[in-house]
Amino acid sequence: MSYLFTSESVSEGHPDKISDQISDALIDNFLAFDPKSKVACETLVTTGQVVLAGEVKSDTYLDVQKIARDVINRIGYTKGDYMFDGKSCGVLSAIHEQSPDINQGVDRTSPEEQGAGDQGMMFGYATRESANFMPLALDLSHRLLKELASLRRENKDITYLRPDAKAQVTIEYSDDNVPQRIDAIVISTQHDDFGEEEVMLKKIKQDILDILIPRVKAQLLPEIQALFTDEIKYHINPTGKFVIGGPHGDTGLTGRKIIVDTYGGKGAHGGGAFSGKDPSKVDRSAAYATRHIAKNMVAAGIADEVLVQVSYAIGVAEPMGLYVNTHGTAKVALSDGEIARKISKIFDMRPYAIEQRLKLRNPIYEETAAYGHMGRKNEVVTKSFVSQDGTSVTLDVELFTWEKLDYVDQIKKAFNL
């Protein structure tokens, strides 16, 4: 019996994502000047106001107001009509020093024995249903919004777009979990007020169908393009006009889009958000590490679908355990428990080892804070930063290291594939 599965994404201009991007921009700036920085930074955005709060242990000082404003301007909140713009919004900082009680549980004389920054469990997931080993409904939702943002910045084919937007894709699967067709697409995009509501909505829907959808389809493999049939149900701005949006329409907070950030509801989630946390926080680093494991396992042919869980106690280096679930898709004659034991011998899951393996003490996080932390392109980019005293630093950093397929051969050897 076929079934439907839905995932959603939100744009970089969504209030919660503005908060995530500001928090991660602060992380990047701290790490650029002091790679040993310990940071937990939360951001709240609302009409004309940004509030920064959190704990920091670092040897550098930053102009946090300027960093927040630069992020807001980059996203596209640059007009007073939006009731929130980078030039005029207030920025209040309530960032203070990290608790020594927490820090003593993390720092060790030997770096390798660095304790986990908190207790908890983290999950990684991978599936064969898309080229980047991500759930297809989420991948398409991200692509729709990234392309919509490109159209907004080009300001050529569509000239009325504002930064806030959401997308949702529903896919019909066969009973053996293979995508059959796209059942529905929902897109809500903020826009300028350019006439009668009925006229605006008709124009927006036409542009989404005639401009956005073809541009997204062109990026996809032929077998995914075939899922776009004439029977798709489109809901474009279904509530009507969407002029008031962004932080003026809805308060944003760091860490409220954890399902958008990961697997769109497939797999599992341990509950911890990512943005605003330095890599000593296993909520973030171990979630990346388990994605790295799951993706390499699927690519190596261990299974068509893999869920990996790891868990920690605060201040303890060795994880409490590693769990693997192949959802009955394993291609090897081993139980999931036996698979997990073999995998745990390949990947060192102590926090310091994860930081070193995935190069997490680099300023690589602002790019993660919109359109998902997983399934992204691994690449080296050059980034520049300026501290409060005018010191500047330029670094070549490798983004999305957890998306590399660099352990496939080791996994195949361990499983005699």
Identify the CATH assignment for 120-127+279-414 out of 3.40.190.10, 3.30.300.10, 3.30.230.10, 3.40.50.10420: 3.30.300.10
Show the tokens assigned to 119. Answer: 């207790």
What's the pLDDT at 377? 97
Amino acid at 385: F
Handedness of CA 404, 410, 412, 414 (dihedral sign): negative
165 is in an annotated binding site: yes
289 is in an annotated binding site: no
| Cα distance between residue 68 and residue 65, in whole Å | 5
What's the pLDDT at 192? 96
For 164-208, the pLDDT digits (tens) are 999 999 999 999 999 999 999 999 999 999 999 999 999 999 999
Query: Measuring CA to CA, how many Å separate 333 from each of 230, 294, 336?
Result: 43, 18, 10
- Of 356, 340, 374, nearest to 133 by C-alpha is 374
Three-state DSSP class for 307? strand
| Cα distance between residue 146 and residue 40, in whole Å | 27
State the average pLDDT over residues 228-246: 95
Class of domain 3-9+136-245: alpha beta
Residue with tokens 């004659």: 333
β-strand partners of 45: 50, 252
For 17-68, the pLDDT digits (tens) are 999 999 999 999 999 999 999 999 999 999 999 999 999 999 998 999 999 9
| Cα distance between residue 123 and residue 181, in whole Å | 28
- The domain locations on the chain are 3-9+136-245, 120-127+279-414
pLDDT at residue 104 greater than cutoff 70: no
Query: Measuring CA to CA, how many Å separate 131 from each of 83, 142, 221, 412?
Result: 40, 14, 8, 20
16 is in an annotated binding site: yes
State the average pLDDT over residues 375-400: 95
What's the pLDDT at 70? 97
For 145-176, the pLDDT digits (tens) are 999 999 999 999 999 999 999 999 999 999 99
Q: What are phi and psi of 259, to 5 degrees?
A: -80, -40
Show the tokens assigned to 375. Answer: 């399934």
- For the chain, what percent of residues have pLDDT higher than 90? 91
Summarize the chain as % helix, strand, coil (round to 5).
35, 25, 40
| Cα distance between residue 124 and residue 407, in whole Å | 15
Classify residue 414 as exposed, middle or buried by CB count within 10 Å of its CB (0-12, 13-18, 19+).
Answer: middle
**276, 40 in Cβ contact below 8 A?**
yes
Q: Which residues contact 241 (CB under 8 A, 6 or more apart)?
A: 191, 193, 197, 200, 201
What's the pLDDT at 1? 80
55 is in an annotated binding site: yes
pLDDT tier at 114, thresholds 50, 70, 90: confident
**402, 107 in Cβ contact below 8 A?**
no
If you average pLDDT over every residue of the chain, what do you get?
A: 95
pLDDT at residue 6 greater than cutoff 60: yes
What's the pLDDT at 193? 95
Half-sphere exposure of 169 (CA within 13 A, CB side): 24
241 is in an annotated binding site: yes
What's the pLDDT at 97? 81
Q: What are phi and psi of 178, to 5 degrees?
A: -105, 130
pLDDT at residue 108 greater than cutoff 80: no
98 is in an annotated binding site: yes
What's the pLDDT at 399? 98
pLDDT tier at 115, thresholds 50, 70, 90: confident
pLDDT tier at 111, thresholds 50, 70, 90: confident
277 is in an annotated binding site: yes
Beta strands in 271-360 (DSSP E): 305-312, 321-325
pLDDT at residue 128 greater than cutoff 70: yes
Three-state DSSP class for 290? helix
For 310-337, the pLDDT digits (tens) are 999 998 999 999 999 999 999 999 999 9
What's the pLDDT at 109? 61
**355, 373 in Cβ contact below 8 A?**
no
pLDDT at residue 102 greater than cutoff 70: no
For 338-371, the pLDDT digits (tens) are 999 999 999 999 999 999 999 999 999 999 999 9
**46, 196 in Cβ contact below 8 A?**
no
166 is in an annotated binding site: yes
Show the tokens assigned to 350. Answer: 């102590």
14 is in an annotated binding site: yes
| Cα distance between residue 59 and residue 351, in whole Å | 22
Would you give the DSSP letter of residue 369? G
State CA 4 to chain mean position distance.
Answer: 24
Q: Which residues contact 188 (CB under 8 A, 6 or more apart)?
A: 165, 166, 167, 236, 237, 238, 239, 242
**115, 106 in Cβ contact below 8 A?**
yes
The domains spanning 3-9+136-245 and 120-127+279-414 adopt the same CATH topology: yes
pTM value?
Answer: 0.95
